[in-house]
Each structure stands twice: as C-alpha cells, then as structure tokens.
Amino acid sequence: YLHPQAQRFFHRILVDLVDSDQCQVIYSTHSPIFADMTRFESIRLLHKSAGEATSASWVHKDTDLSYLDNQLRRQKLNQYMDPSTSEALFARKVLLVEGHGDYLAAKLVADRLKIDLDAEGLSVVSCGGKNAIPFFARTCAALGIPALVMHDEDLYPDTGQPLAGWQLEENAKAPAQNAEILSAASGSENVFLLKPSLEGELGIGRAASDKPLKVIDALSSMKLEQMPVGLVAAVRALTGVEETVNSRG
C-alpha cells in the first residue's frame, strides 16, 4: 500500500538495519523495489503449483555466489540498476535485453503476435547494457527462472572498405563479451543475436539521437517477416509462438 517513493525509503531503512548488524529482517513481497536482485544472496524465491507443496530456490552454490559477487563489483550494478529489472524474479519466463530500445522492440513484436505478456506472466527486462546481461542471466539460472537473452553481436566483417575506429574496438572486445553471455545463459539455445546490432539491422546510425524512438518508428512500418530475424525469434521463443526461422547464435 506504499507509493514507490515510500517503498524505496522503507526498503533502504530495512537494508540499513541489516547492513549495520542490528537485526535480521524477513519479509515477503511482490514488489520489484523490495526484491532487489543486487542482494541476490538474500533472496528466497517460493514456488507453488496446484496439488504440490511449496518449494524454495535461492543462490546457494559457491560458484554462483562468487561469480555474481564479482559481476556486481565489476559492473557496479548496485549503483545504477533500475529496480524494474527485479521484475524478472516474478516472471514465468523472461527475455533479457540490453537497453530500452530493445525492450520496446520486443514489446512491439509481442503485440504483433497478439500476445499479452502480462497476462501470460512473461517479462522483457532491460539490463541497462550488454555488460550487465551475464549477471542477470546467471541469477535467473541459479534461481530456476527460465531466461532467454537477446543482444547485439557487435561484430563487423571486412567488406573491403576500411572499418571505422569504433568498429575495430567492437570487434576486439565483442568475442569475449559474447562468450561470457553465452556461458551465463546456459547455452546457445537461449541466446538470440542481432547482427551486427538492432540499430544496424534497421539502418539507424550509431550516432543517431533518440534511438529508441527511431527503432519503434522503423519497426512500426514493417511486417513481421521484414523485421530482424533475431528479434522476432527471441520473442517467439519467449511467448511460445512457433519459430519459423532459427537465428540463435
């Protein structure tokens, strides 16, 4: 019954009590503000299916705890993470994407497929950047949340024309980034690539302003079969609508 500002304030009070070793705090919630994924070691996810006893899942393996703690510190996620990303904890299945433009694009495709994501308990979650995806993918895997990933491949082939400096930089760092996402997502069957990027497939320049708006404008004028293959395949996999083209990496 608290508005978002009060939720954030109250959650901060509870966290401060715990971090100062004043007491232990246990609460149940359906609010992503209170279910902070950056405090993954404290989350207990409860499951209840008809006719079955309630079960719980949590991040308990030392390898998962060490990996997530390292990712949290490397990416400084607890400093800028949007609380809405914790919506993944309440989803029946989730599609993890890089940013807001990818989020809007996936939602648009779901609408074209006439799938109500909320009604089906499905979520598209923007991770706030490609480097943050492994953290969320590994957290979902550790908690038993079915998760798919859609991201830019960021590899630019030699077409006979000199590559720009930023393209050379992307080519240098992308293989390691892509491999880390693939590992965190538990295999290629869960990963969908946009080659070389969503904007690139839609003809939107790297330096363009208002990219999310331009992404939606471009997709709105396309038929489903004209849209980037990786985008459509990722949403089909999330929603359970039969895939016609395989675009997994």
- Encode pLDDT of 149-158 as tens digits: 999 999 998 8
Which residue among the candidates 138, 206, 236, 248 is catalytic per the annotation?
A: 206
Percentage, residues of the chain above pLDDT 70: 97
Residue 245 has pLDDT above 80, yes or no: no
Report the pLDDT averaged over residues 227-239: 97
Active site annotation includes 206: yes
At 96 the pLDDT is 98
Q: pLDDT of 160-196, one tens digit each?
A: 888 999 999 999 999 999 999 999 998 899 999 999 9
Query: For residues 211-222, b (16+ Cβ closer than 10 Å) or e, as one string?
Result: beebbbebbeee
Residue 217: HSE in the Cβ half-sphere, 13 Å Cα cutoff: 8
For the chain, what is the mean pLDDT?
A: 92
Q: pLDDT of 102-118, one tens digit each?
A: 999 999 999 999 999 99
At 234 the pLDDT is 98
Percentage, residues of the chain above pLDDT 90: 82
Are 101 and 211 in contact, with CB atoms under 8 Å apart? yes
The structure's pTM equals: 0.92
At 159 the pLDDT is 83
